[in-house]
Amino acid sequence: EAQVTQNPRYLITVTGKKLTVTCSQNMNHEYMSWYRQDPGLGLRQIYYSMNVEVTDKGDVPEGYKVSRKEKRNFPLILESPSPNQTSLYFCASSLSRGPPYNEQFFGPGTRLTVL
């Protein structure tokens, strides 16, 4: 089944304790992206990747890191989480970003609480 998976689905942690949220897709998609969703703000893009070893900042990259060493995986790293990073995080992928343009497929989300 074609899908985007994220782990963990729920995480409660403390300020300053490094964590990684994994994202994997099995559709051979080139483009992958991370978003955070906060009430009343919709989804805001954190980082995206056009392909292996090609990443770029979205609108809210501060406090986050990403890597794209393999095409299928795009982990999100919080080196020193803070309470303002408490949010619902989504990973997404799409076949490519150029014409003819393709929709993004979303993972189920990771609910992160930083105490």
Q: Nearer to other proteins by C-beta: 23 or 114? A: 23
Residues 40, 49, 17, 39, Cα dihedral to 10°: 10
Instruction: Specify the DSSP class assigned to residue 84.
Output: G
CA distances 90 to 15, 34, 100, Å, are 21, 6, 24
Backbone torsion region of residue 16, taken as left when φ is above 0, otherwise alpha when ψ lies between -120 and 50, otherwise beta: left
Residue 89 lies near other proteins (rule: CB under 8 A): no
Q: Which pair of tokens denotes residue 14?
A: 């403390």
Residue 61 lies near other proteins (rule: CB under 8 A): no
Residue 103 lies near other proteins (rule: CB under 8 A): yes
Site string for other proteins, 8-47 (x = CB under 8 A): -----------------------x-x-x----xxxxxx--
Q: Give the residues lining the site for other proteins (CB under 8 A).
A: 4, 31, 33, 35, 40-45, 48, 50, 56, 58-59, 88, 90, 92, 97, 99-109, 111
